[in-house]
Structure 1
Amino acid sequence: MGRERIRDRQNDDGQSGGGRAAVYALFAIVVLASAMGNLSQTAVNAMLGDIMGEFGLDVDLGQWLTTSYMLVLGVTVPVATFLSRRFSVRQHVLIAMTFFLVGAVADLCAPNFGVLLVGRVLQAASAGMLMPLMQTIAMTRFPCGRQATAMGIAGIAMGFAPNIGPTIGGAMSFSFGWRSFFVLLAATMAMLAVAAVLAIRPSDAPDRDARLDVRSLSLSTLGFGGLLLAFSEASSFSVTSPFVWAPLALGALFLALFVRRQKRVSEPLVSMEIFTSRQYRAGFIAQNLLNASFMGVTLVVPLYVEGLCGGSALDAGVVLLPGTVAAFLLNPLAGVLTDRVGVRPVALVSGAFLATGAVLMSFLDADTPLLVTTLFQAVRAVGVSGLVGPLTSWSLARLPGPVVADGSSFCIAVRQACASLGTSAMVLAIAAVGASSAGVADPALAYQAAFGFSAVMALATLAFIAVKVR
């Protein structure tokens, strides 16, 4: 019954409530709020040294500021489906914004590491609530023929914001101190909250009687949390370490139990009806391959530039800059092209760019000019930017309206795990090959192995698109 009310609410909102202007205003607010969450996720990487210095932290403890964000975001995402049933869109948005604003203020005023960590957790929870909502709005409130365009615009929050995060965070930390970044976040989110109050009209909740299945939430948290923790720890410990295999095994077990329970309860946290769509299944796999391929590159490129080529952090930022620009410009363009010519040609061309750039990067060595490295990275980034929005919109396009939020939430959660897996695999490749070839072979082999993993995933993405995306 609740799912039917969601369909009615989506249809009503798409036809009334201020028409297109109201939808555009809502979408703009949610995209910008989601961008703040993704910006915060990566910006702290560039500020970590200053934060650790102020609080006297070692690297292992300091890294929890980034690890916790990834973990909480991943386990919060499935809750967005419950929020979309239990609360109106206006309430959903304001709840998420409140979490973020409180977290940003806590980090701004943090007297110790504990308060700072709590603030990060609240911001991550907000991001997990908003990203599925953003995609659901794009797919259910925009008319057919405009959904890929909307998803391309949403790609700015998913691609541009996290890419530009380290640049903004590093610049603000260097110029004004690391707390200045949280001033920016708090001020921006406060303005967006005011805009939300003024622009988003009150409406009835789709299902006020909806209840949160605590058992499903617990299984989801333990499942996704275990996988994310295992993949995160794999970059610091051996694969045979209990810190890796124990959370991996338990995470897989709890995730299997979660999926099983969703098929048996009348009001699942995430409806497994999403996998009855062949198109969703294909898009789900393609997106996971894509995330395994590209997310770790933003970590490995600075290691390569600074560790092997003797460059500076500024040099590493310049190498990554084209990817940032590409994400801002090409995400919307790819969406427009998808609406006009269909997903297959856009995905094939973008997949070819991704694979070409990734393969070329697997041949980089210490003597490769940074200009060449920048060019290869730019080619790869063009491919990523051309795939994120089109694959997301295509995968969700055939789902019934009431389960679009479920499809979006589950895919985002799994994508987080695949991105973490890809990043850990690349870091492990650097460590393993570097250790085995120390003093014997070209030290570039370690980075070539890491970029080689990305290339394999990129080629797999292109091959899968060629066979399944039509």
Structure 2
Amino acid sequence: MENTISSTDINKERVRKMPILVSLLLSGFIGMFSETALNVALSDLMKALNITPTTAQWLTTAYLLTLGILVPLSGLLIQRFTTRQLFIASLLFSIIGTALAASSPNFEFLLIARVVQAMGTALLLPLMFNTILVLIPAEERGAAMGMIGLVIMVAPATGPTIAGLLIERLSWHWIFWMSLPFLVIALIFGMVFMQNITKVTKPAIDWLSILLSSVGFGGVVFGFSSAGEEDGWNSLKVWIAIAAGAFALILFVWRQLTMKQPLMDLKVFKYPMFVVGLLLIFVCMIVILAAMLILPLYLINGQGYSAFKAGLILLPGGLINGLFSPLMGKLFDKFGPKWLVIPGLAVVAATLWLFSGINTASAVAFVIVLHSALMIGISMVFMPAQTNGINQLPLELYPHGTAIMNTLQQVAGAIGTALAISIMTAGTNSYLKSVENPQDPAQQLAAFTQGVQHSFIFAMSLTLAGLILAFFLKRVAVRHPQEGAMH
């Protein structure tokens, strides 16, 4: 599979790694910022657009659902289009989506804008990871991924704070207006400095695989997302969507295994450390997305803070995660994944257990310390598990490995968001059914708090399953040290 240039091409002096990486990271930063900044604005959006929490959740879920449908195609796209073409297309989608979101008059318009934004991110994420795998030799990859962690995590850390300030002083529209000029700068910078580091081979397009992938991943995510609505798991459409999605995925897997040139090469699952890394990333994404959705809602609705103050409370944890990522990258290069991932998951589980006891009287300092500990734990797990898994793959499977890992990250994020809302709603309703006067504001607040606690218990249970899995981690001996070699 000739989907990247050879090592001899990459080693030529004309390839300037730093400008290429800066272009990708600047774009990724703004993409992450606009996604997470909206979380802290959900409460204001509910009031401004007159929508329920379940409806507001779709602004996040639709974004992730679009990624879940489009990211599986990234292995094909990387082989059919040049690096520059994919980069420019991703930025144009992001710019158009952000401009639409900034001028949205209602929920439906905003939802469409989020889908267009997600189309840009769906092109950018796999392109960024594949570029790093091609340009950075395996023995330095941990440090490189750590630097990406620094940039990518500072965006969601600062997003809620800046968004909170914009909402307080202006309106939620300005979250997008502020992102727009940076995206334009990223596009111009990329057009000047971005170089083609992939070889276009124009593989055949299998439309049936694309259809099965879209129905499969889309159906599963839609089913889980719909479970957060009023009827919950009693809704027939939830089970129909999940069943249809699962059936389509079974057919998709069967088709990939019987094709000479599969859309998504499932040979990656023959490599055990890739599978373990993939499952650990799956757990991490569910936990991260659940926590990043539930915590702002708890701080604003449960504690009565403004969006700005909620953002400030969550700022230290995100910044700490970003600062720890390069350190974890260097430690991974030196010691391997096991002695980072196991303690990291233990910290995450302990933190979520303490979070499951928070209530309306919990001190701000307590929430800041817990959130910071959660972010440190995540930084110890995410990058080491991901890099170790990818490192075990043969070079020709890199695009497929990154496509699968990025796809399941988005699907896990959507499932995590949906389950968190679903469990929170169920916990809230359960409490209200047990009291004499469910209309009493004090009882409603207590019910909401119980729902939040139940969400954190769910996340903790999942983390403990991940902790057991982490004991099977082994450091991968990279057998292809040639930088960027690909056959």
TM over 0.5: yes
Alignment match, 2:91: 97
2:203 and 2:317 map into 1 onto residues whose CA distance is 42
Select between 198-207 and 386-395 the one with higher mean Cα deviation. Answer: 198-207
For 1:449, the aligned partner's letter is H
1:287 and 1:376 map into 2 onto residues whose CA distance is 21
Cα distance change of structure 1 residues 115 and 303 upon mapping to structure 2, 3 Å threshold: closer
C-alpha displacement at 1:402, in angstroms? 2.3
Alignment match, 2:10: 14
Alignment match, 2:386: 392
Alignment match, 1:305: 299
C-alpha displacement at 1:422, in angstroms? 2.7
C-alpha displacement at 1:147, in angstroms? 0.6
Contact 2:78 2:198 in 1 (8 A): no
C-alpha displacement at 1:17, in angstroms? 5.0
RMSD over aligned CA atoms reads 2.6
Contact 1:90 1:202 in 2 (8 A): yes
C-alpha displacement at 1:346, in angstroms? 1.9
Contact 1:81 1:406 in 2 (8 A): yes
- What stretches of structure 1 of length at least 5 have no aligned partner? none
Select between 268-277 and 64-73 the one with higher mean Cα deviation. Answer: 64-73
Say if 2:412 is the partner of 1:415: no
Select between 47-56 and 220-229 the one with higher mean Cα deviation. Answer: 47-56
C-alpha displacement at 1:361, in angstroms? 1.8
Cα distance change of structure 1 residues 114 and 435 upon mapping to structure 2, 3 Å threshold: closer
C-alpha displacement at 1:265, in angstroms? 1.8
Paired residue secondary structure (1:18): coil
Alignment match, 1:361: 355
Alignment match, 1:463: 468
For 2:215, the aligned partner's letter is L
C-alpha displacement at 1:174, in angstroms? 3.3
Alignment match, 1:226: 219
Cα distance change of structure 1 residues 315 and 113 upon mapping to structure 2, 3 Å threshold: closer
Contact 2:318 2:372 in 1 (8 A): no
Paired residue secondary structure (1:6): coil
C-alpha displacement at 1:302, in angstroms? 2.8
- Post-superposition CA distance 1:129-167 (Å, at most 9, x none): 111121122223101221111112222455332343333
Paired residue secondary structure (1:351): helix
Say if 2:207 is the partner of 1:214: yes
Cα distance change of structure 1 residues 59 and 155 upon mapping to structure 2, 3 Å threshold: same
Paired residue secondary structure (2:139): coil
2:185 and 2:61 map into 1 onto residues whose CA distance is 28
Alignment match, 1:424: 418
Paired residue secondary structure (1:437): helix
Report how many aligned residue pairs link the two structures.
463
Cα distance change of structure 1 residues 178 and 316 upon mapping to structure 2, 3 Å threshold: closer
Paired residue secondary structure (2:234): coil
Q: Pick from 293, 317, 339 the counterpart of residue 311 of structure 2.
A: 317
For 2:299, the aligned partner's letter is V
Alignment match, 1:291: 285
Cα distance change of structure 1 residues 64 and 424 upon mapping to structure 2, 3 Å threshold: closer
Cα distance change of structure 1 residues 14 and 390 upon mapping to structure 2, 3 Å threshold: farther
- Post-superposition CA distance 1:171-202 (Å, at most 9, x none): 22433433333333221121111111211235
Contact 1:156 1:331 in 2 (8 A): yes
Using CA pairs under 8 Å that are at least 6 residues apart, name the structure with larger relative contact order, 1 or 2.
2
Q: How many percent of aligned residue pairs carry the same amino acid? A: 27
1:16 and 1:38 map into 2 onto residues whose CA distance is 32
Cα distance change of structure 1 residues 159 and 409 upon mapping to structure 2, 3 Å threshold: farther
C-alpha displacement at 1:341, in angstroms? 2.1
C-alpha displacement at 1:280, in angstroms? 0.6
Q: Pick from 259, 267, 272 the counterpart of residue 273 of structure 1.
A: 267
Q: Pick from 56, 77, 88 the counterpart of residue 83 of structure 1.
A: 77
C-alpha displacement at 1:127, in angstroms? 0.4
C-alpha displacement at 1:239, in angstroms? 0.7
Alignment match, 2:482: none
Contact 1:96 1:130 in 2 (8 A): yes
For 1:79, the aligned partner's letter is L
1:406 and 1:377 map into 2 onto residues whose CA distance is 34
1:260 and 1:133 map into 2 onto residues whose CA distance is 27
2:125 and 2:12 map into 1 onto residues whose CA distance is 24
Paired residue secondary structure (2:138): coil
Alignment match, 2:484: none
Say if 2:324 is the partner of 1:351: no
Cα distance change of structure 1 residues 68 and 13 upon mapping to structure 2, 3 Å threshold: farther
| TM-score for both structures, normalised by structure 2 | 0.87
**What is the correspondence of 1:50-69 to structure 2 with a 5 Å cutoff?**
63-69=57-63
- Post-superposition CA distance 1:2-55 (Å, at most 9, x none): x1x224x05245312535xx1222122112212222222222334456667776
C-alpha displacement at 1:292, in angstroms? 2.2
